[in-house]
């Protein structure tokens, strides 16, 4: 068994590490709550845009529709994490990417950590950008993605869809070109009121739809990433607690051994003194 001062130093270091894990756990929990609170509003926004596209499609009966999608490249977007300590989050996303990517699609990765792991797997990352680390950072990420997709003809996105208890499910969704079901139009008595040419109107609605879908994917993945990180921190906290219990038991044993040794020294010294005194009697 190691010496008591060294054991006490290990206990102190583990306590500091546990404090750090708990701080990271609290931060991850906060990010999960913020992202969860933002998701319903984003979903409602996407639904409103989808309804507007469906209603605007009625105008196609009377006027030419929006210009056809550019004959550009096809891409697959992976929304991964910016930092580590997220357990198997990036691995599960990249497993799906490997299953879906092919030579005809370029890989775009959101999240530096995910991009590095993708390259370690031998995946060719055509473009990467930093992932948001908090809710306020989601819109800038979405704008960078939308700008990158300006001349893209087909795009799909792989992201983590948050589930209760810090769990997530990997989802893959096609976001370009638009689902034909969106442009079928709604049954209504007449076309909607509008102040733009039908083609321009639907083009702008398509941009809004793309922005909304990207925002939803990034926000959902942010919640999933932090949910995974929360579970990792909770497991680390439990493991550190178990290790501290073991070390404290060892510390208690060492203290008892030290006390016993001191008592034996006292008893041995007392016997020696008493023995000398007895030998010196007349």
Residues across the chain: 282
The per-residue pLDDT for 130 is: 97
The per-residue pLDDT for 219 is: 96
The per-residue pLDDT for 149 is: 93
Q: What 8-state DSSP symbol labels residue 133?
A: S
Q: What 8-state DSSP symbol labels residue 193?
A: P
Q: Can you tell me whether residue 76 is helix, strand or coil?
A: strand
Give whole-number Cα distances, 260 to 14, 267, 270, in Å: 28, 10, 15
Q: For residues 5 and 217, what is the distance between their CA atoms, to the nearest angstrom?
A: 51
**Domain boundaries along the sequence of the chain:** 4-22+235-279, 38-229
State both tokens at 106: 């370029």
CB 68 within 8 A of CB 145: no
Residue 229: which of 82, 95, 104 has the closest Cα?
82
CATH of the domain spanning 38-229, picked from 3.20.20.220, 3.40.50.1170, 2.40.110.10, 3.40.1380.10:
3.40.1380.10
The per-residue pLDDT for 194 is: 62
Q: For residues 155 and 191, what is the distance between their CA atoms, to the nearest angstrom?
A: 30
CB 156 within 8 A of CB 106: no
pLDDT along the chain (282 residues), means of 10: 78 91 90 92 89 71 50 90 93 96 90 96 96 94 94 93 91 87 57 66 84 94 94 91 89 81 73 64 52
- The secondary structure element, H or E, covering residue 168 is strand 167-176
């Amino acid at each position: 068994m190691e010496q008591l001062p060294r054991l006490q130093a290990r206990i102190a270091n583990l306590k500091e590490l546990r404090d750090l894990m708990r701080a990271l756990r609290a931060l991850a929990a906060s990010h999960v709550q913020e992202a969860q609170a933002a998701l319903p509003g984003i979903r409602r926004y996407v639904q409103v845009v989808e309804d507007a596209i469906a209603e605007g499609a009625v105008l196609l009966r009377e006027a030419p529709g929006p210009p056809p999608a550019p004959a550009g490249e096809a891409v697959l977007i992976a929304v991964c994490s910016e930092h580590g300590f997220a357990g198997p989050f990036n691995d599960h996303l990249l497993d799906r990417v490997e299953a879906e990517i092919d030579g005809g699609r370029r890989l775009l990765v959101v999240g530096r950590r995910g991009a590095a792991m993708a390259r370690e797997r031998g995946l060719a990352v055509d473009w990467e950008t930093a992932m948001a680390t908090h809710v306020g950072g989601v819109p800038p990420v979405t704008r960078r993605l939308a700008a990158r997709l300006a001349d893209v003809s087909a795009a799909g996105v792989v992201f983590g869809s948050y589930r209760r208890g810090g769990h997530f499910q990997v989802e893959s969704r096609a976001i370009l070109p638009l689902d034909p079901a969106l442009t079928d139009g709604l049954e209504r008595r007449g076309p909607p009121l509008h102040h733009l040419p039908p083609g321009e109107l639907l083009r702008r609605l398509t941009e809004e739809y793309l922005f909304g879908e990207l925002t939803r994917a990034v926000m959902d993945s942010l919640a999933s990433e932090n949910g995974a990180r929360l579970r990792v921190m909770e497991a680390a906290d439990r493991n550190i607690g178990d290790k501290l219990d073991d070390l404290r038991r060892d510390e208690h044993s060492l203290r008892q051994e030290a006390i016993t040794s001191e008592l034996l020294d006292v008893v041995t010294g007392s016997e020696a003194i008493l023995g000398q005194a007895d030998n010196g009697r007349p």
